Structure 1
Amino acid sequence: MSIDRPVTDDERRTRNPRGQGWRLRDDLLLAVSQLLDEGVSPDEMSLRAVARKAGVSPMAPYRHFENFEELLGTTLKMRFGFFAEVIMTGLCFDSPTADQAHEQLVIMGHRYVEQGKANLVAYHALFDSSFVVDAEELPGVMLFESAAKLFEIVQTPMDPQVATNIYWCGLHGIVSLSRRAVPIGSSATDERLVSELADSLIGPDARRQLLKPS
């Protein structure tokens, strides 16, 4: 996709009133987000291309961002916040029972896969840490810690941190491999794969509880 075309008059952005420079920053973040939604990989973007998308001069972004990497990293942190919010909305992490914790792991997994597959370009950008400028503020910490807490409640037979890493790796594989590889030996749906993944990581007592007739 080519994004190095001249901006049209209709697309040209009106100058912000004095004292409203924050609008420029928001417009630039929105421009990067829109490019991701259009399927443009970060590798195809540049500060000049983002400025063109926002309808501003090529030098305008430097008022708020040192370089494209900083602008992209800020955008991805913002988008990951939305990603995490969708996954965790409506879930309760305040002393759930083992059954509730298991159910929430499955719900989180389903939402993760759904969100990831909705825009694979944006998804892979979110999980490429090289795009995040501040390595100490990598996105995903809140999601990871929440899942680890749930795995502790369902009495996973392994370290909850290890179980959580396996869980995220499994979800990432379901999203990433769907269009990059042909499933071998199984026609399982995403829903079943997520459920089986969660079931495989819970403790034997919790698993026996799930198998009890209702």
Structure 2
Amino acid sequence: MSRVTAKKDTARDRNRRGEGARLREELVAAASRLLETLDGQESLSLRAVARAAGIAPQSVYLHFADRRELLTAVYEVRFAELRAALSTASATDAPTRLAEICRAYCEYGLRNPGHYRVLFGTAGTPGWEPTDAQLPGLPLFRLLADTAESCGSTNPTATATCLWAAMHGLITLRQDRPSFPWLDLNVLIDTLISAHLAAARKELP
């Protein structure tokens, strides 16, 4: 009988280890949900995350040493989602590919306003900056710059920066001012790309 009991205990232990991984994911999700509504990541507390996840505060420390480690996990997950969204761009023609990337970026932000706010409304505030180890070379921006260069931009970094800022404006303004008579998103994206590439292709004096 004792042998049977031991086997059952072992099975329960295995389940608990699996549940531990699931709990870590739940903590990341809870922290992300809180960041969607807080003024900034400095307002996030481990106690609040534990309460949102329905666990005891000390249980958080079984998975994350401190708040910074938890924030890093949140941002890694959200940036990975955005990278996956942009990876759907598959056109071989460079201008078409750039349009696909910009459209995927804007659609992600409009479809996931909370997640987008976590990435660009709280990430990078004091206390957390993505490192090359977490986001190698910040590939999202690099993808824009490389594609702009393929389109003939003589200053791909400047072109990518302007496109990024413009897309961020489109996303936030469409959410904050829904009553404005917005044109179709594709029309606005094509206008942005055409204007910036036309300027960027000009020979520098």
Q: Same fold (TM over 0.5)?
A: yes
Per-residue deviation at 1:181?
4.6
SS of structure 1 residue aligned to 2:176? coil
Task: Look up the match of 2:53.
Answer: 54
One-letter amino acid matched to 2:131: E
> Residue 155 of structure 2 is aligned with which of 155, 159, 167?
159
The answer to whether the aligner puts 1:180 opposite 2:176 as a matched pair is yes
Task: Look up the match of 1:200.
Answer: 195
Task: Look up the match of 2:146.
Answer: 149
CA distance in 2, matches of 1:18, 1:91: 42
The answer to whether the aligner puts 1:112 opposite 2:105 as a matched pair is yes
Q: Is the 8 A contact 1:36 1:121 kept in 2?
A: no
The answer to whether the aligner puts 1:68 opposite 2:67 as a matched pair is yes
Task: Look up the match of 2:94.
Answer: 101
CA distance in 1, matches of 2:54, 2:158: 46
Q: Is the 8 A contact 1:42 1:125 kept in 2?
A: no
Per-residue deviation at 1:122?
2.2
CA distance in 1, matches of 2:198, 2:179: 28
Per-residue deviation at 1:16?
8.0
Q: Is the 8 A contact 2:110 2:175 kept in 1?
A: no
Return closer, same or farther for 1:134/1:202 CA change in 2, 3 Å cut-off.
closer
Per-residue deviation at 1:90?
4.8
SS of structure 1 residue aligned to 2:56? coil
RMSD over aligned CA atoms reads: 3.2
Unmatched 5+ stretches in structure 1: 1-14, 207-214
Task: Give me the identity figure in percent.
Answer: 27
CA distance in 2, matches of 1:182, 1:90: 27
Task: Look up the match of 2:25.
Answer: 26
CA distance in 1, matches of 2:131, 2:52: 30
Task: Look up the match of 1:91.
Answer: 90
Q: Is the 8 A contact 1:110 1:191 kept in 2?
A: yes
Q: Is the 8 A contact 1:76 1:132 kept in 2?
A: no
Per-residue deviation at 1:28?
1.4
Aligned length, in residue pairs: 182
CA distance in 1, matches of 2:182, 2:39: 33
Higher helix share: 2
Q: Is the 8 A contact 2:145 2:156 kept in 1?
A: yes
Per-residue deviation at 1:132?
6.7
Per-residue deviation at 1:121?
2.9
One-letter amino acid matched to 1:118: R
